[in-house]
Chain A
Amino acid sequence: MELLDRISENLQNGFDETVVQLTEDAVEKQIPPEEILSDGLIVGMNIVGEKFKNHDIFLPDVLLAARAMNGAMEILKPLLIKEGIPVRGKVVIGSVKDDLHDIGKNLVAILLKGAGFEVIDLGNDVPAEKFISAAKEENAHVIGMSALLTTTMPVMKKVVDLAKDEGLFGKVKIIVGGAPVSKEYALEIGADAYSYDGANAVETVESFFPANSR
């Protein structure tokens, strides 16, 4: 079996240490990093995504694959940067101010990384201003916000309003999610999109980058 196929297969099985080792082997064998990413890791993650959609595997299996993907990306990222290969897109993400729930946000961050996006995770209890300043500093393409309480949802609107004031609106896409959040609420506050779970968040963010989608 070819090395890149083995990377894909081990990634699908969530064998993170093997995937990291095989990625190192591939680099050593002078396989271009972009090829390792697209023909090994991304192929594997796409199969994982399909199996997840078809309920052949479940979220913990996806998270094991994502961990393997992230481990391999630690090796590939500096090489991709060195070769001037652009990242797929950069997402600033966080749970809004006064909201200490972070599992949902963490899952979205992990799945986005697994899909090849660069994720700047601001953590939880993030003030509106911090989302904006991080998006500017990082030249982010997307701001993702999570809220698990109706009392913290208004911070999402504050971020959208600040983005408008700071000239980011239209340049940076804003996506919102969390148990009490709805598509209607996203529309009402002027966010670009709403996602109901992690996998849907990845699909939505991917839809922001049609030309870049793998």
Chain B
Amino acid sequence: MRSIVDFAADDVILDRAAILCSQGIPEEAELTENFERIYGEAISLFQQLAASKGITAGISISHFEEVFRGEGLNEPENPVEEIYGESSHLALFAVTLGPVLSEKVTELFDNGDYASGYMLDSVSSFAADRLSVLIAQNLQSELAAAESGKSTLRVLSYSPGYCGWHISGQRKLFEVLCPQEIGITLNESCLMSPIKSVSGVLIAGHGKIHEFANSYPFCDTCRTKSCIGRMRDLK
């Protein structure tokens, strides 16, 4: 089943500590008045300008195998392949904050307002990631409702460019999902526009299927290490 979701600005909870953490700032840090002002302005701008949308489309394991294979450039061993093989439900997804926020970031930088541009970009990046979590939670709720609320299924998102799934996998994913319907396009380098967009697959299954040892060769160079927090949250 294919569906489109419009998110309200309030749906995206802008967790201050997490946003600051993404900037390398510890929770207990003392921040300057300037910093607080810029942060407040960025949150306000985000709430005014975000136009968040998402699209999902259910897909069978066999069809997803073809999407995942993409152009044959994935890492030979990767966790995604093992996880989706054990899934009970799969859906392709894409989410976006819309083009206006990125345009505002560019405008701020062009006007020399670097600090505000940086802060709005940082808030937007965090929010785009949150959207992928929200769309996964939506699917999890739908699946739970179908099982009279007793579901033990956990839904997590996985994206091309991470965990051994080569970025070129975006091409096949876009071919099947067609997120152009919500305004997301792909360029030759597999970069999405609007830039604050996330795409991938939602994998539903027992929490345990999402657990893996982050000791693949590519884990060393991974800068996000977000798998650690995601696996911790499963428990």
Contacts and interface: CB of A to CB of B under 8 A. Distances in A.
A13 interface: yes
Contact of B114 (A55, A106, A179, A182): A106
Indicate the size class of the contact surface on chain A: 20 to 34
A59 B168 contact: no
B188 A66 contact: no
B115 to A, nearest CB: 4
B193 interface: yes
A64 B115 contact: yes
B195 A60 contact: no
Interface stretch (A37-45, A79-87, A146-154): A146-154
Interface string A49-84: 000000101111101101100110000000000000
B34 A61 contact: yes
Given A67-B112, A106-B114, A59 B23 contact: yes
B216 interface: no
B118 A63 contact: yes
Contacts of A148: 191
Contacts of A59: 23, 115, 118
A151 B35 contact: no
A61 B35 contact: yes
Nearest to B31: A58
A150 B161 contact: yes
B12 interface: no
A206 interface: no
A98 interface: yes
Interface residues of B, number: 35
B205 to A, nearest CB: 28
B25 A58 contact: yes
A66 B24 CA distance: 19
Nearest to A101: B195
Nearest to A100: B191
B189 A60 contact: no
B187 to A, nearest CB: 6
A151 B195 CA distance: 16
B190 to A, nearest CB: 5
B124 to A, nearest CB: 10
23 contacts: A14-B34, A57-B32, A57-B35, A58-B25, A61-B32, A64-B114, A66-B114, A67-B113, A98-B187, A98-B188, A98-B191, A99-B191, A100-B187, A100-B191, A100-B193, A100-B195, A102-B106, A102-B109, A106-B117, A110-B114, A148-B191, A149-B191, A151-B189
Interface of B: 23-26, 29, 31-32, 34-35, 38-39, 105-106, 109, 112-115, 117-119, 121, 161, 166-168, 187-191, 193, 195, 221, 223
Given A14-B34, A61-B115, 13 more contacts: A55-B26, A55-B29, A60-B38, A60-B119, A66-B114, A67-B114, A71-B112, A98-B187, A98-B188, A100-B187, A107-B118, A179-B223, A180-B221
